[in-house]
Chain A
């Protein structure tokens, strides 16, 4: 069966520090991968998606970046965090053939102080 992992689960970082969040998927090949952010009281905002290794599309301009160095690995990064980067970061995947269902990882709760 397929599983999705994210780490760390919780992170407290100072403004201006770098960030690296990791997401890995097991039990499937060539998944479509997504990074979302959920701010308090708001809906999930799509940040990046990837259909394959090295292929990244960005949804919104921001100081975050994403990379997909391996088929089942998706990384979210920042060189300098802002206070507004605080939120709940969720990685999701779906098979390339199933347009309907996305499966979410457990998320990383980030607090920037």
Chain B
């Protein structure tokens, strides 16, 4: 079983739509969680951290449910520029150092 699992998509949505991505993690010792965005053939870039109380950054809302080991990302009022792959990431202590575990990503395509 993968440590971080995501629906690969693609999610094809019209501009203005609300879309939600889900992610589950298997390591209950995971300490922190993040969403990264990766454009086609580019490097991943940090989108936002995910806090236990939930957090919002403009049109983006991230939620964490530690009991269910579940993370979500909600994008409201989708823009064409939101088209990308969204990577769910957990951080856990492993072998004496902090290690980031990346999901395979969920692809989003926003169309006019």
Contact = CB atoms under 8 A, between A and B. Distances in A.
Interface of A: 36, 41-44, 46, 49, 51, 57, 88, 90, 99-107, 109
Which 4 residue pairs across A and B have the least CB separation, nearest first?
A104-B43, A44-B102, A43-B102, A43-B104
A42 B8 CA distance: 10
B66 interface: no
A102 B49 CA distance: 12
A16 to B, nearest CB: 27
A50 to B, nearest CB: 11
Interface residues of chain B: helix, strand, loop or mixed (majority): strand
Contacts, number: 44
A49 B97 CA distance: 10
B78 to A, nearest CB: 23
Contacts of A106: 42-43
Contact of B41 (A44, A100, A103, A109): A109
Contacts of B32: 99-100
Which of B8, B34, B44, B45 has most chain A Cβ within 10 Å?
A: B44
B30 to A, nearest CB: 13
18 contacts: A36-B102, A41-B8, A43-B4, A43-B87, A43-B102, A43-B105, A44-B87, A44-B102, A46-B100, A57-B95, A90-B43, A100-B34, A100-B91, A103-B46, A104-B43, A104-B44, A105-B43, A107-B43
A106 B43 CA distance: 5
A43 B103 contact: yes
A107 B38 CA distance: 12
B22 to A, nearest CB: 15
Given A43-B87, A104-B44, A106-B43, 4 more contacts: A43-B103, A57-B95, A90-B44, A102-B46
Contacts of A49: 97
Which of A88, A105, A109 has most chain B Cβ within 10 Å?
A: A88
